[in-house]
């Protein structure tokens, strides 16, 4: 199978149509039946595969960066009688276990990106269901702020995964049903086990949708809803910023971007991910930042890191350990952080860059790989790049005279939150929150012995032990069961309060991961395997 690439642009979309009418953007789904990203399955009834989500994620990002005039987004379908029938069953049935889980994870991240379009950028979304929305199609609708359902006696919403496929709604459907839409538990139970779904007034009564409109008045209702939601939204002044393709160079197992290098060592099951800090002074003001645009270090480096993380997730399944490294001058990173944070108080583009940094770092948190940070001479683990070390499962810092240092910045204390809503420092020191306040006073570079004392790194070997400790740590970790490690890491990374986001990914990592391997779903007589055939599934009815 060819590597999966995530770079795209509106002129290359084949599954969505993105249009603009003043302050309202419309994203209309129109999946061609022969539009499979890979494989010979047919994408009937606006069913989707990864290619649909790649274009969806790109379109949301472009609305945020390139179209500041937009105040509301309408998500709808160009196919009569069908909004979206969800993830393509034959694609799922024919995919490897790893791909199924990674597909669900990426789709979840994209749904969350749609939700933060409203929460952060201030662009609410309306799901205009001009046809049935089932499974992942309804999950897409639930990610929107407002759901408008066509009331024609046929159009319904449903989550049929449990009764039809023996799996769960894989993109957070059950969690959004009760946590976000606050559907009563008994009604949610009934809804999630009725394959044909719910339509009309009952869908409103059960809180499954917000509004219904007859077919003859549906377009007017969509227009009214988008106008209503757009009213009072703050203006984002100035032109948008275009996002050009990243265009890395690939030489065997080494991929080089401008600021990020990904080197894969297949034999050791190790990937080394190096992020280079900025080499120039930060932009003087918002105008200078806008001139830099997509080339601004804070945006470009994180776009590249995002691409490298997705490359690892989908194209390098055997890699067990990511070695996180940095290079550059810590002081320059801190200067860029300080300027970005100051500009973000009054400039929408600076805020979008900051939110994008937070989103990419969350992608690292959610990676099903062990991450070890190695802080060596020439490193610049400072401020926003020190978040890489805080996101790592362990960090190793060389303790030697004149050796590397680390540093915190204002961004370390909440501007780049994890999925649990806390900073990585607050999550790290959950038992001693007062220590986080004490760390605010830690100015300047912090050497290895002090970093270890403050709890900012895990180990600080000297130069005599460094090579052996690093080698043993990587070899030992790569030898453990990847299933156990994935479960362990996902459990340990999100201490503290539970949010809808941590619930979604925790359940994906545990329950959906488990169900996707069970014979009741994917065995020879499993429901997902036999879907579409005249044969009935055979279940092992013993409950654990």
The pLDDT score that the predictor gives to residue 310 is 98
The pLDDT score that the predictor gives to residue 141 is 98
Is the residue at 211 inside a domain? yes
Is the residue at 519 inside a domain? no
Percent with pLDDT over 70 in the chain: 100
- Is residue 225 located within the same domain as residue 372? no
Residue where a domain terminates, one of 485, 505, 525: 485
The pLDDT score that the predictor gives to residue 444 is 83
pLDDT tens digit string along 29-46?
A: 999 999 999 888 999 999
The pLDDT score that the predictor gives to residue 216 is 97
The pLDDT score that the predictor gives to residue 77 is 98
Is the residue at 479 inside a domain? yes
**Cβ distance 322 to 371 under 8 Å?**
yes
Residue 154 belongs to a domain with what CATH number? 3.90.226.10
Q: Is 154's pLDDT higher than 90?
A: yes
70, 224, 241 from 22: Cα distances, Å:
7, 15, 17
Give the chain's domain count: 2
Q: Which distant-in-sequence residues (6+ apart) come within 8 Å of 164 by Cβ? A: 195, 527, 531
Q: Is 122's pLDDT higher than 90?
A: yes
Place of tokens 């039946």: 33
Is the residue at 258 inside a domain? yes
380: containing domain: 250-485
Mean pLDDT score across all residues of the chain: 95
pLDDT tens digit string along 52-103?
A: 999 999 999 999 999 999 999 999 999 999 999 999 999 999 999 999 999 9
- Is residue 266 located within the same domain as residue 149? no
- Is residue 358 located within the same domain as residue 467? yes
Query: Of 148, 150, 143, whose CA–CA distance to 169 is shortest?
Result: 143
- Is residue 209 located within the same domain as residue 260? no
- Is residue 427 located within the same domain as residue 349? yes
- Is residue 268 located within the same domain as residue 196? no
pLDDT tens digit string along 414-464?
A: 999 999 999 999 999 999 999 999 999 887 899 999 999 999 999 999 999
The pLDDT score that the predictor gives to residue 129 is 98
Helix (H) or strand (E) holding 304: helix 297-315
- Is residue 254 located within the same domain as residue 148? no
Q: Is 389's pLDDT higher than 90?
A: yes
The pLDDT score that the predictor gives to residue 200 is 97
Residue where a domain terminates, one of 175, 197, 230: 230
Report the distance separating Cα 363 and Cα 306, nearest Å.
7
What is the value of pTM for the model shown?
0.96
pLDDT, mean of residues 250-256? 97
CB-count burial class (<10 Å; 0-12, 13-18, 19+) for 69: middle
Rg for the chain, CA atoms, rounded? 24
The pLDDT score that the predictor gives to residue 233 is 85
Please state the φ and ψ torsions of residue 446, each to the nearest 5 degrees.
Answer: -115, 120
pLDDT, mean of residues 461-471? 97
Q: Is 160's pLDDT higher than 90?
A: yes
Is the residue at 538 inside a domain? no
pLDDT tens digit string along 479-538?
A: 999 989 988 998 899 899 999 999 998 877 777 788 888 999 999 999 999 998 999 999
Is the residue at 427 inside a domain? yes
pLDDT tens digit string along 339-368?
A: 999 999 999 999 999 999 999 999 999 999
Percent with pLDDT over 90 in the chain: 90
Q: Is 153's pLDDT higher than 80?
A: yes
Residue where a domain terminates, one of 196, 230, 264: 230
- Is residue 349 located within the same domain as residue 314? yes
pLDDT tens digit string along 193-235?
A: 999 999 999 999 999 999 999 999 999 999 999 999 999 888 8
Is the residue at 218 inside a domain? yes
The pLDDT score that the predictor gives to residue 281 is 96
Percentages (nearest 5) of helix, strand, coil residues in the chain: 45, 15, 40
- Is residue 80 located within the same domain as residue 172? yes
- Is residue 217 located within the same domain as residue 267? no
* 252-258, Cβ contacts within 8 angstroms, sequence gap of 24 or more: 255/308, 255/311, 257/304, 257/307, 257/308, 258/300, 258/301, 258/304
Is the residue at 295 inside a domain? yes
- Is residue 279 located within the same domain as residue 208? no
**Cβ distance 411 to 387 under 8 Å?**
yes
Q: Is 1's pLDDT higher than 80?
A: no
Q: Is 544's pLDDT higher than 80?
A: no
- Is residue 216 located within the same domain as residue 256? no
């Amino acid at each position: 199978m060819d590597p999966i690439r995530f770079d795209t642009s509106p002129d290359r979309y084949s599954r969505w149509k993105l249009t603009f009418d003043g302050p309202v953007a419309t994203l209309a789904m129109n999946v061609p039946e022969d539009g499979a990203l890979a494989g010979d399955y047919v994408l009937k009834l606006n069913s989707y595969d990864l290619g649909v989500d790649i274009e969806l994620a790109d379109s949301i990002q472009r609305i945020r960066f390139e179209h500041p005039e937009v105040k509301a987004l309408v998500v709808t379908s160009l196919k009569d009688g069908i909004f979206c029938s969800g993830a393509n069953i034959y694609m799922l049935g024919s995919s490897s276990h790893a791909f199924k889980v990674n597909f669900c994870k990426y789709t979840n991240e994209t749904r969350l990106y749609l939700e933060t379009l409203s929460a952060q950028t201030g662009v609410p979304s309306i799901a205009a269901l001009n046809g049935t929305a089932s499974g992942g199609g309804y999950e897409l609708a639930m990610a929107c702020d407002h759901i408008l359902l066509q009331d024609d006696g046929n159009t319904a919403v449903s989550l049929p995964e449990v009764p039809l496929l023996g799996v769960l709604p894989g993109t957070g459907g059950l969690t959004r049903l009760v946590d976000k839409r606050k559907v009563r538990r008994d009604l949610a139970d009934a809804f999630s086990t009725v394959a044909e779904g719910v339509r009309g007034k009952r869908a409103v009564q059960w809180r499954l949708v917000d509004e219904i409109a007859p077919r003859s008045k549906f377009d007017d209702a969509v227009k009214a809803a988008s106008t209503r939601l757009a009213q009072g939204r703050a203006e984002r002044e100035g032109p948008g910023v275009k996002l050009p393709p990243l265009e890395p160079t690939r030489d065997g197992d080494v991929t080089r971007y401008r600021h990020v290098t990904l080197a894969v060592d297949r034999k050791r099951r190790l990937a080394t991910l190096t992020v280079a800090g900025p080499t120039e002074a930060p932009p003087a003001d918002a105008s200078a930042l806008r001139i830099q645009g997509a080339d601004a270090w804070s945006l470009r480096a994180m776009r590249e890191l995002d691409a490298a993380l997705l490359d690892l997730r989908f194209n390098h399944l055997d890699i067990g350990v990511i070695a996180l490294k940095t290079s550059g001058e810590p002081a320059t990173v801190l200067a860029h952080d300080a300027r970005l944070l100051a500009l973000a108080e009054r400039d929408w583009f600076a805020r979008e860059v900051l939110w994008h940094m937070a989103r990419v770092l969350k992608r690292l948190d959610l990676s099903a790989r062990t991450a070890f940070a190695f802080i060596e001479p020439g490193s610049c683990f400072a401020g926003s790049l020190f978040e890489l070390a805080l996101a790592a499962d362990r960090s190793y810092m060389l303790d030697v005279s004149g050796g590397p240092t680390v540093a915190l910045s204002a961004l370390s204390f909440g501007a780049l939150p994890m999925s649990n809503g806390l900073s990585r420092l607050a999550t790290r020191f959950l038992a001693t929150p007062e220590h986080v306040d004490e760390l605010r006073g830690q100015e300047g570079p912090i050497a290895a012995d002090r970093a270890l004392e403050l709890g900012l790194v895990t180990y600080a070997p000297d130069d005599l032990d460094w090579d052996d400790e690093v080698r043993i740590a990587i070899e030992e970790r790569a030898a453990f069961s990847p299933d156990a490690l994935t479960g362990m890491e996902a459990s340990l990374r999100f201490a503290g309060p539970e949010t809808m986001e941590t619930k979604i990914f925790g359940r994906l990592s545990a329950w959906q991961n488990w169900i996707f391997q069970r014979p009741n779903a994917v065995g020879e007589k499993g429901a997902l395997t036999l879907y579409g055939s005249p044969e009935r599934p055979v279940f092992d009815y013993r409950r654990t």
